[in-house]
Amino acid sequence: MEPHKEDGQVRAVWSAVKAVIDVEDPEGLLAAGAPADEYSVEVPNLAQLVAEQRVTAAGVLAIWEHWFGPGSSLQRRPDALERLTERLKRLSSP
């Protein structure tokens, strides 16, 4: 779900995070034919980490497992968690 606030910075962070998540497709759902908004519920939480420059692997995993449950793909694939975390960290760099 896209941000309701018309703040350009909020929208830019949200869009950048969604793009990263869609490219990474951590659960493989988009590749399996899921709708384009499949990861939209996770994006606001991840975008908040990015905006506050608080991106850590533990934080990303906590958000992911909140939505996908324990044992999500990011829990099972540390390489994917590390890659996603690093990409999100780059978004929060000035």
* Range among 2-6, 31-35, 70-74 with highest mean pLDDT value: 31-35
pLDDT value of position 7:
64
The torsion angle over the Cα atoms of residues 39, 42, 20 and 31, rounded to 10 degrees, is -20
What percentage of the chain reaches a pLDDT higher than 90? 81
On average, the pLDDT of the chain sits at 90
pLDDT value of position 93:
75
* pTM for this predicted structure: 0.86
User: Span 53-79, mean pLDDT?
Assistant: 95
Q: Which residue has the higher pLDDT, 10 or 68?
A: 68
Question: Alpha helix (H) ranges present in 1-94?
Answer: 8-24, 43-51, 57-68, 73-76, 78-92
- Would you list the domain boundaries of the chain? 8-92
User: Span 56-76, mean pLDDT?
Assistant: 95
